[in-house]
Amino acid sequence: MIAQLSGTQQSIVLVINEEEPLMSKFADIKGFVFDLDGVIADTSVYHSQAWHQLADELGVAWSEELADNLKGVSRMDSLNLILKTGGKENDYTEAEKVAYAAKKNTNYLNLLKGMDKTAILPGIEDFLADLAKHGYRLSLASASKNSPLVLEQLGLAHYFEARVDPATLKHGKPDPEIFARGAEVLGLKPEECAGVEDAKVGIQSINGASETSIGIGDPAILTGADVNFTSTSELTLANLKAALA
């Protein structure tokens, strides 16, 4: 179902999934479990720059196609893809590859030092402030080990009372483990939480954890989300209440 909410300045279109019943009504939700990249901030540009630096060092030509192919891929798999692109996949030992992957992460961390509030996606800081004002509890469910640094750089860390440590996880998305843990670290039941994601595997993870799934992005891609907003700027308590009431 497509529901249109009319505001004073704009009309917002929400896509509500009717294939399965909504996990929770708005009044049942006590906490929110957030993904980071693509939901709170766009850190992909920093990953791309760090890989670009390493590709230059390795003598591999950089392209937008290569950059796109690295999105959502693990660090070692990304390195192997770069080497394969340059015909250098057999030029390095595993130990050397591990060292280069670590160097990429160092490049990434150095780039993050220049990140500020301008990297926060539209409407997100206001949404977090509104959630805090109304007593909702927030946790972070990001697979990135650098997520605490990112939140500190953005000045948003104080909104989150808990974080899932990715080093303790046995399974990645779309397995529900990370979002189930996101509710657990808040001391809440899954049905008392809503998860916010911009990736299809993330929505699958939230649904698998029996939490209300909120998708950010193209509803044709994020099929299965209980509620979908095409942009973070549309993510407000008022819009959620209208969609889940």
Say whether 4 sits in a helix, a strand or coil: strand
What value does the mean pLDDT take over residues 198-203? 91
The CATH number of residue 172's host domain is: 3.40.50.1000
DSSP character string of 96-146: HHHHHHHHHHHHHHHHHTT--GGGBPTTHHHHHHHHHHTT-EEEE--S-TT
Comparing 45 with 203, which gets the higher pLDDT? Answer: 203
Helix (H) or strand (E) holding 162: strand 162-163
What value does the mean pLDDT take over residues 39-51? 91
pLDDT score, position 4: 41
Residue 144 annotated as binding site: yes
Last residue of a domain, one of 82, 112, 142: 112
Pairing mode, strands 11-16 and 227-229:
antiparallel
Same-domain pairing of 9 and 98: no
Comparing 160 with 1, which gets the higher pLDDT? Answer: 160
Residue 234: Cβ within 10 Å count: 20
Same-domain pairing of 84 and 132: no
* Entry pTM: 0.79
Last residue of a domain, one of 112, 134, 154: 112
Residue 62 annotated as binding site: no
Comparing 70 with 205, which gets the higher pLDDT? Answer: 205
Same-domain pairing of 29 and 125: yes
Last residue of a domain, one of 112, 135, 168: 112
Residue 181 annotated as binding site: no
Residue 73 annotated as binding site: yes
What value does the mean pLDDT take over residues 208-233? 96
Residue-level length of the chain: 245
Same-domain pairing of 102 and 191: no
Residue 213 annotated as binding site: no
Same-domain pairing of 34 and 128: yes
pLDDT score, position 17: 55
Radius of gyration of the chain from its Cα atoms, rounded to whole angstroms:
19
Give how many domains the chain has, as a whole number. 2
Residue 146 domain boundaries: 2-42+119-244
Same-domain pairing of 75 and 183: no
The per-residue pLDDT for range 170-184, each reduced to its tens digit, is 988 889 999 999 999
| Beta-bridge partner residues of 2 | 15
Same-domain pairing of 127 and 201: yes
The per-residue pLDDT for range 51-93, each reduced to its tens digit, is 999 999 999 999 999 998 887 677 888 999 999 999 999 999 9
Looking at the annotation, which residues are catalytic? 35, 37
The CATH number of residue 50's host domain is: 1.10.150.240
